[in-house]
Amino acid sequence: MNWYEKLNQYFPIEEMKSKEHMETLLAEKGNVYIKDEGPKHVLMYVEFENFVFVDYLFVSKDARGEGLGRKLLNQLKEKNKPILLEVEPVNYEDTDTEKRLKFYAREDFKHASRIGYIRRSLATGENTVLEILYWSPVNQDELDIYKAMKWTYENIHTFKDEHFYGESYDPSNEVLEYNTEKKRNMLKEY
């Protein structure tokens, strides 16, 4: 099974980029869009000067509990930059969502509780609520996390979107918002 098939089996269709989109990012933005692949994992991430965005992190079921996810995150943490990623809120019918949140809480990620993020899937037309988690070597301001997430959305998620999907994603100001009030911290209970 190739790297894209692994990701496609694990991540919901609403969160997946097309294979052509990802291959084009690797080819045309290969200086920042990076694929780290092994027999038991696929890590797709974007590294910019002042932050890292994890686009996809997949660890095969047979490798869970071996510390591979921690090892991969530690390699990113060694870059000494904030690390951002998107996660689904807990869905009690899907036990992986809760396990995922527990994993990131153990890895010292924080919930960006001031950032609202609702992305419309071009594959299904459905709106998907996602949350932003981040790890930072310093006490990072959530406004900086918001700006980094907005930049990622505008330069990676929507890169040539009309070409790949026949339509454009919604503009970032309709997808992301920075709130003065904090939401409930979804990692607090872990």
Per-residue pLDDT in tens (0 to 9) along the chain, 190 residues? 899 999 999 888 889 999 999 999 999 999 999 999 999 999 999 999 999 999 999 999 888 788 999 999 999 999 999 999 999 876 656 656 678 888 999 999 999 999 999 999 988 888 999 999 999 999 889 999 999 999 999 999 999 999 999 999 999 999 999 998 888 777 776 6
pLDDT score recorded for residue 185: 79
Confirm whether 35 is domain-assigned: yes
Confirm whether 188 is domain-assigned: no
- For the chain, what is the domain count? 1
Q: Domain holding 38: CATH number?
A: 3.40.630.30
Cα separation, 72 vs 122, whole angstroms = 30
pLDDT score recorded for residue 145: 97
Confirm whether 183 is domain-assigned: no
Question: How far lies 22's CA from each of 17, 29, 76, 80, in Å?
Answer: 6, 10, 20, 26
Confirm whether 111 is domain-assigned: yes
Domain of residue 148 covers 3-178
Q: Contact 106/189 with Cβ under 8 angstroms? A: no
Q: State the amino acid at position 142 in one-letter form.
A: E
Q: How many helices (H) and strands (E) does the chain have?
A: 7, 9
Q: Burial of 67 by CB count in 10 Å (0-12 exposed, 13-18 middle, 19+ buried)? A: exposed
Confirm whether 190 is domain-assigned: no
Confirm whether 184 is domain-assigned: no
Q: What is the pTM of this model?
A: 0.93
Confirm whether 127 is domain-assigned: yes
